[in-house]
Amino acid sequence: METTAAPPRLGVVFGYSGEFAETAHEAVEYERIGVDLLTVAEAYSFDAVSQLGYLAAKTTSITLASGILPIYSRTPALLAMTAAGLDFVSGGRFELGLGSSGPQVIEGFHGVPFSAPLGRIRENVEICRTVWRREPLDHQGTYYQAPLGSDRGRGLGKPLKLVNHPVRSSIPITIAALTPKAVTQAAEIADGWVPIFFHPEKSAAAWGGALAQGATLRSPELKPLDIIAKMPFYIGDDVDEALETYRQTVALYVGGMGARGANFYNDLATGYGFGPEAAMVQELYLTGRKAEAISALPEDLVTGTSLIGTESQVRERVAALRDSGVTTVSVSTLAQTTTARIEQLEALRAMLH
pLDDT tens per residue across span 38-52: 999 999 999 999 999
What is the full per-residue pLDDT of the chain (353 aa) written as tens digits?
A: 344 679 999 999 998 777 899 999 999 999 999 999 999 999 999 999 999 999 999 999 999 999 999 999 999 999 999 999 999 999 999 999 999 998 889 999 999 999 999 999 999 999 999 999 999 999 999 999 999 875 555 656 789 999 999 999 999 999 999 999 999 999 999 999 999 999 999 999 999 999 999 999 999 999 999 999 999 999 999 999 999 999 999 999 999 998 888 899 999 999 999 999 999 999 999 999 999 999 999 999 999 999 999 999 999 999 999 999 999 999 999 999 999 999 999 999 999 99
Taken in order 291, 13, 10, 213, the sign of the CA dihedral is positive
d(CA 11, CA 233): 11
Q: Which CATH architecture has domain 9-238+306-352?
A: Alpha-Beta Barrel (3.20)
pLDDT at 17: 73
Residue 347 CB coordination number (10 Å): 14
- Alpha-carbon 335 to chain mean position: 21
- 109: which DSSP letter? T
d(CA 70, CA 99): 5
pLDDT at 2: 44
What residues have CB less than 8 Å from 195, skipping those under 6 apart? 176, 177, 178, 183, 203, 207, 227, 228, 229, 230
Which ranges constitute the DSSP H helices of 178-298?
Answer: 180-189, 203-217, 240-256, 264-271, 275-286, 290-296
